A and B are shown apart, each in its own frame.
Chain A
Amino acid sequence: MIDIKKIEKNIADKHAELHEHVKSGAKFEKLYPLFEAQDTFLLTPPDTTEGMTHVRDAVDLKRVMFTVVVALIPCLLWGIFNAGHQYYHFSGIEAGMFSKIMRGTWIVMPIVFVSYLVGGLWEVLFAIVRKHEINEGFLVTGMLFPLTLPPTVPLWQVAVGISFGVVVAKEVFGGTGFNILNVALTSRAYLYFAHAKDHSGEVWAASADGATGATPLGMGASYGAQGQDVVASLADNGHTFWSMFGGLEPGSIGETSAIPIMIGAAILILTGVGSWKIIAGGCVGLLFAGLLMNFMPTSGTVDGEMVQLTTWTQIPFFYHFVMGSFLFGIVFMATDPVSAASTDLGKWIYGALIGVVTVLVRVTNPGFAEGVMLAILFMNVMAPIIDYYVVQGHIKKRNANLRKFSYAKG
């Protein structure tokens, strides 16, 4: 039987010794954030409460953040399997389950590793220079980012992307809790625009002969532009609603299948870590906008001449759910509480507008294959404005209530 108490005591003693070297005024005081991070990782802090409230809940930010990482694990596992599957599929080699998993691990894990390593280095560097603690928020960013990338992404791009996100989207604002944009998504957007040719929605094209390797979303847009029946053309290529729901499809690592994402959503909602209001709002917005698009004309006249318009608008609204990264984005990215709206009503509006903007970008803008990334980033920027108006409305309602009271009293 392992004596936990003894281990705890040993670690505590070692840490007390180590603390002497990093405490303020000591030789290695600059390394204190590193000490604090590993100290409070191994053992809960011995701090006691100050101020008027003397007891605290057992929850802390480490637990909250790590729960998001746990919720991402089904997506990661699926991503690993799917990467292996797609690799063999496009290489034209028959392979068994085991080979697919091994190959997938070989493809995906280095991406995750580089993301954590490079992002972690920046986090630590800033913690030391800016003298703030190493925030657990990084655990989430480091995992979210790789899952938004295509499995074929070069590792140097992973390093550049996460560096951009951590430094420009987060640390220049003061670290986790102060950022305006979702960090992982900013990293993703940076790669999307800076290295567009590797992120065009054609994932496996480089590794396969003949097969296009395009994602269903990318295909759909181009079929639409050619005026074809999008649903039928997708089905000809093997992409039906249920195949896209199941997710054995080319795409970014974590987003192809709805099933692991829904497991993750269930974990986030049941533990209260992710806001169900944002997720529900997003789904409503997406359905509404998707449905509205169905009423768009497929042809029109320009200068008296009939022109064929895209039929991309005509896909059944529920297709939007399973195509591209919408579900992944709304469950894991939009619910990031730091960059989302903070009021209850604000969360509904914020979520709904992400859904609407996603469809708008997808359908009406032929330049971008996927809309959810831009929709979330755009709404990140808008979130404070939404909150502002919700608060103003609240104040108005409050005052009206108070006036009612003072009139009632004469």
Chain B
Amino acid sequence: MSAEIKIKKGLDLPMLGAPSEEIRQLNSSGTRSVYPGEFAREKFKCLVEEGDSVIRGGVLARGKRIDGFKVRSPISGTVKEVRLGARRSLAEIVIEPNGSEEVEKFTSFTVDGLLKASKDEILSVLADTGFLGFIRQRPFSRIADPEATPKSIFVNGMASAPFRPDAHVLIQGKADDLQVGLNALTRLTDGPVHLNLAAEAKDKNDALTQAANVQVNYFSGPHPSGNTSTHIHYLDPIVPEDVVWTLRVSDVLRIGELLRTGVYPNRQRILIAGEGAKEDFRGYFDVDTGADLSEIIDPACAEGDQRVIRGDVLAGEAVDTASSGVFMYDQGFVLLPEDTERTLMGWYAPTTEQYSAHKVVPSNWIKDKLFHFGTNTRGSKRAMVLTGIYDNYTPLDLLVDPLSRACIAGETEDAIAMGILETDPEDFALCTFVCPSKTDFGSIISNTLASIEEEGI
């Protein structure tokens, strides 16, 4: 059984700076870091001290909330530094590699063996290795709670937002890992595992379209047709008290590699794209987990001031390459030119160079053109004035105006009734983009979701 769904509402940003599909290997020579902070809402106790030696797959820290959740080292070496962040939370453990090939062995499974494994067996390996962090739970997009019973699991194999990595490139050379990972997921729920792909990729005869034991669905239409919330909404919407688990194809590959080999995976494929990257650096790279970003991103930066975005331009986080590394959860970086240029009377000049989704800007009338994008706000922040535009950019059954107002007013019960639990802040990125008053819907929604999670539903 498979579904084909056509999404009508949304917007594809016509951005310059698309990557090639070439995959290159990058080996890092420096230290590797582990960032427990990337597992949002979990707290950690550090189990090593500076000077301790660890092997690849050795324990570095354990989680305080989720039982048996551990953070492990991607490489053999010596603990060089333990860095604490805000409120003495464990921010970073730096490891100096020593070249040793020694590895910690975990339980390994065969493709078919997994179909007979129990849920607890699989979850305990995932928690023990920290790979549980790849499984997110809706509502709230937090780390999956092993005690919860998800009614279904959603695997996202789409990239409708500009410069999210293409799942069909991510799986190249990793077809085995994909099926192992998917088989493991089928054991974690009594319901279906949905693998959601872009309709254009339907006749790509690869491991994704041929995946077994899961329900393969196809979505077409503009962004956010590739957002997980969209998939959930159309296939198995979240009713209060429901829990669903979500992953991306890159996550399934990592889980698959771990379960298939029994060795802690320490390479991952990331995408570097955007106009801020030199043209020949825009593409896919296999890199070392935990490697310094300065080693990987800096050579790719074009001249001028570039913003490095972990994630993508619609839903991502600006990072400083000097003080950060490759997170386990990373699958891509977008480099976007910092734009502080001021233009004379730009607020009414009939620009054809800056993209707009609104007909009031002449650039909107030009079809099939790719535009330069930058970090400029393109106007000043004002009170929300225009109404009714935002609903055109979400295929979810939402009224964005009243929902965001309820959130601003702190009316969490109203927000829940209007469907906020079905959403993730990334679903409102297009609303933020098109807002003439430059409202940041992402933070409005994420603040409300956080306070609902804290207070309980």
Contacts and interface: CB of A to CB of B under 8 A. Distances in A.
A343 B399 CA distance: 7
A276 B381 CA distance: 26
A159 interface: no
- Interface hub of A12, A178, A395 (most chain B Cβ within 10 A): A395
Contact of B375 (A12, A48, A59, A174): A48
B380 A60 contact: yes
A55 B375 contact: yes
Interface stretch (A38-46, A73-81, A314-322): A38-46
B342 A44 contact: yes
Contacts of A301: none
Contact of B360 (A42, A47, A272, A409): A272
Nearest to B432: A53
Given A60-B380, A409-B236, A343 B388 contact: yes
Interface stretch (A111-119, A185-193, A284-292, A397-405): A397-405
Contact of A61 (B191, B374, B385, B433): B385
B305 to A, nearest CB: 10
Nearest to A338: B385
Given A52-B426, A347-B388, A395-B417, A405 B375 contact: no
Interface stretch (A3-11, A100-108, A146-154, A218-226): A3-11
Contacts of A57: 355-358, 361, 378, 433-436
Nearest to B383: A177
B402 interface: yes
Contact of B363 (A58, A270, A337, A409): A58
Given A45-B342, A398-B419, A60 B402 contact: no
Contacts of B343: 8, 43-44
Given A40-B347, A56-B438, A51 B432 contact: yes
Contacts of A56: 376-379, 432-433, 438
B237 interface: yes
A189 B96 CA distance: 76
B325 to A, nearest CB: 20
A361 interface: no
A62 B348 CA distance: 8
A67 B359 CA distance: 11
A58 B358 CA distance: 9
A63 interface: yes
A41 B343 CA distance: 10
Interface string B417-439: 11100000110010011111110
Given A342-B387, A343-B388, A49 B375 contact: yes
B382 A58 contact: no
Interface in A376-409: 387, 390-391, 394-395, 398, 401-403, 405-406, 409
B443 interface: yes
B346 interface: yes
Contacts of A43: 342-346
A52 B316 contact: yes
B124 to A, nearest CB: 28
Contacts of A344: 388, 391
B127 to A, nearest CB: 28
B432 A133 contact: no
Nearest to A40: B380
A405 B239 CA distance: 9
A125 B381 CA distance: 20
Nearest to A402: B239
A337 B342 contact: no
A54 interface: yes
Contacts of A402: 237, 239
Given A405-B236, A405-B239, A44 B316 contact: no
Contact of A46 (B307, B340, B359, B433): B340
A340 B387 CA distance: 9
B338 interface: yes
In the complex, which of the residues A55, A275, A277, A391 has the most CB atoms of chain B within 10 Å of its own CB atom?
A55
B382 A8 contact: no
Given A133-B382, A176-B385, A58 B375 contact: no
Interface in A60-74: 60-64, 66-67
A52 B356 contact: no
A61 B379 contact: yes
28 contacts: A43-B344, A44-B378, A46-B342, A49-B375, A53-B314, A53-B315, A53-B433, A54-B316, A54-B375, A55-B433, A56-B433, A57-B355, A58-B354, A59-B358, A59-B378, A60-B347, A62-B347, A62-B379, A66-B348, A137-B385, A176-B385, A177-B383, A275-B388, A337-B385, A342-B388, A347-B388, A398-B397, A409-B151
Given A52-B315, A340-B387, A398-B419, 6 more contacts: A8-B342, A60-B378, A272-B360, A344-B388, A390-B399, A394-B418
